[in-house]
Structure 1
Amino acid sequence: MLRTKFTLLLLLTLAYSFSQSDDVAIKPLKINTKLNHYGAQVAGDKIYFSHHLTTKRGRPIKDKYDGFIYTTYEASLSEDGEIINEKPIEKTKLGQFNLSSVTFSKDRKYMYFTSNHVGEKGTNKRKGVDTYNLMIQRAEYVEGKGWTNFETLPFCNPDNNYAHPALSPDGSVLYFVSDFKGTKGKSDLFKVSVSNHKTYGEVTNLGESINSSRTEVFPFVSADNKLYFASDRRGGKGGLDIYVYDLESGDDEQVPVSLDEPINSMGNDFSFFINEDLTTGYFSSRRSKGEGGDDLYYFEKF
């Protein structure tokens, strides 16, 4: 998970059950190590995930503030959901900077990701110190060059944190988390309209029916327009749990529903992604019997 200058969000959610299949099966992936792996997203025939930026010997690289640097890896998928042949994505922007928690436009021409403000410090409102807070950037894919034309989204104020972007299936709405003024908890879920991946509307808080007084992180919207996210709100199974909220429901009394075991556990469970088949996908977890860091899990029969 991201740890740079922004203590990532741990929450507990309402103790309701969710009607996932009793046959749902999960398995830890062979790619897991003691280092962190999270944020898996399938796009086309590739899968992308966040991982430490490492030396050639596999040791994680830290920034000058002693925080780990994360980058995004591109890989292939095996028939059983394993991640193989991983490599860092190609980008034209040089230097060591965080590039994690990615989401893609449907044509995979645009990528949004979490990074840090560079060269412009902001104020950490909880610690009263100057830090390079988190922000969301957009990059464009150019054949022969890789990811280029990096731009910071215009609403990202250096004095606040913005992270974990997630596009709606049609690409018209971008969901994300922030500690922007007026948040109910340490961080809330927000959304903003997107036009041609060039201009953006007014940032809107998702409201008290979704956000809690604790922390919300890692939103994802499925092909059937359900919002999945992680929270450490009261009533959860332990640490971060994964919740679901039906964005198409007309029920004014609807509340986020906690996913059942084996997806949620006593540990931190977050970064949920489900494929268009709505039965298979990935999530991250730091649970007992894992490799020691944030591990990636594959699930089926959801």
Structure 2
Amino acid sequence: MKAKFTLFTVLLCFIFGFSQSEDVEIKKLKINTDLDHFAARVVGDKVFFSHNLTTKRGRAIKDKYDGFIYIMYEAPLSADGEIKDEKPITKTELGRFNMSSATFSKDGKYMYFTTNQIDKGTNKLKGVDTYNLQIQRAEYEEGKGWTNFETLPFCDPDHNYAHPALSPDGSTLYFIADVKGTKGKSDLYKVSVSNHSTYGEVTSLGETINSSRTEIFPFVSADNKLYFSSDRRGGKGGLDIYVYDLDTNDAKQEPKPLEEPINSRGDDFSFFLNEDLTTGYISSRRYKGEGGDDLYYFEKF
């Protein structure tokens, strides 16, 4: 979750309708190890997630900047949320690496994911040249796997762009960036999407949603609620998951943190809610975890 990302390498029951059952059940998945497993996303009958690129002996590979390299995995969807029989995704560009934090079109044909720029850019925080993060789009072709990789046109090599998330209708892409005018270390932005080939003007989600701290890992549920993680004041500790209703007409609405057991005193991020709006996945570095970023499955949300 942190690799290469140099910026960061108690939901109340209130009148706006954000409610969370007190009976939420959450379990740590058996797939977790001391390596990183995060950003699970369900697409059709598959679940995709991010995991370290490893050696044949299972050791995590690092780049020359001492950052972990990630790759996308897929596995058959199971009724109990467990992830097993996983395998790396099939892709045509074998040299492409550090693929993580992906979002998919409903039909599973298009994937947007976080990777690194091919050319060096300036790291604004450290004042050095690094391969900043960018967002790419890939297309799935039967018999070939993921192919036709394209960098989104607004990704400037001198800034970071990461954690893409498509709206339920596929017409808007949410993501984080550290471009000029960003309020915190990274803010939430959006851009319109047309036919997964052309994109509109990048727009900030504004000061109501963005804070002076760090916002990462946006996700938009089937009922058009925005979930994201932030280390802003008022949380339980570290990164917490917040929710904001994108359909509200209430100008005073503010993002609210989710209750336990979704949020914990550790880092909680990369929230995903299935279309049933009751089950899903989160990633976390919480007490009694396996040591890395772990995947958890929840029910009765």
TM-score interval (norm. to shorter)? over 0.9
CA positional deviation for 1:16 = 5.5
Q: Which amino acid aligns with 2:276?
A: D
Which residue does the alignment assign to 1:231? 230
Which residue does the alignment assign to 2:57? 57
Q: Deviations over 1:192-229 (max 9, x none)?
A: 00000000000000001100000000000000000000
Q: Which amino acid aligns with 1:20?
A: Q
Secondary structure of the corresponding residue to residue 84 of structure 1: coil
Matches within 5 A, 1:72-83: 72-83=72-83
Q: Does 1:17 align with 2:12?
A: yes
Matches within 5 A, 1:42-191: 42-118=42-118, 120-191=119-190
Whole-angstrom distance in 2 between the partners of 1:6 and 1:42: 28
Q: Deviations over 1:118-158 (max 9, x none)?
A: 1x111011111000000000001111100000000000000
Q: Which amino acid aligns with 1:174?
A: L
Whole-angstrom distance in 2 between the partners of 1:57 and 1:192: 41
Whole-angstrom distance in 1 between the partners of 2:81 and 2:94: 32
Secondary structure of the corresponding residue to residue 85 of structure 2: strand
CA positional deviation for 1:238 = 0.1
Contact 2:11 2:259 in 1 (8 A): no
Secondary structure of the corresponding residue to residue 42 of structure 1: strand
Task: Count the aligned residue pairs.
Answer: 296
CA positional deviation for 1:300 = 0.2
Which residue does the alignment assign to 1:269? 268
Contact 1:273 1:282 in 2 (8 A): yes
Contact 1:5 1:131 in 2 (8 A): no
Contact 1:69 1:96 in 2 (8 A): no
CA positional deviation for 1:7 = 3.2
Which residue does the alignment assign to 2:212? 213
Secondary structure of the corresponding residue to residue 147 of structure 1: strand
Contact 2:45 2:77 in 1 (8 A): yes
| TM-score for the superposition, normalised by structure 2 | 0.96
Query: Where in structure 1 do 4 or more consecutive aligned residues deviate above 2 Å?
Result: none
CA positional deviation for 1:249 = 0.5
Unaligned stretches of 5+ in structure 1? 10-14
Q: Share of identical aligned residues, percent?
A: 76
Contact 2:7 2:185 in 1 (8 A): no
Secondary structure of the corresponding residue to residue 86 of structure 2: strand
| TM-score for the superposition, normalised by structure 1 | 0.96
Whole-angstrom distance in 2 between the partners of 1:96 and 1:201: 27
Which residue does the alignment assign to 2:27? 27
CA positional deviation for 1:78 = 2.2
Which residue does the alignment assign to 2:249? 250
Whole-angstrom distance in 2 between the partners of 1:141 and 1:16: 38
Whole-angstrom distance in 1 between the partners of 2:258 and 2:154: 32
Which residue does the alignment assign to 1:286? 285
Alignment root-mean-square deviation, CA: 1.1
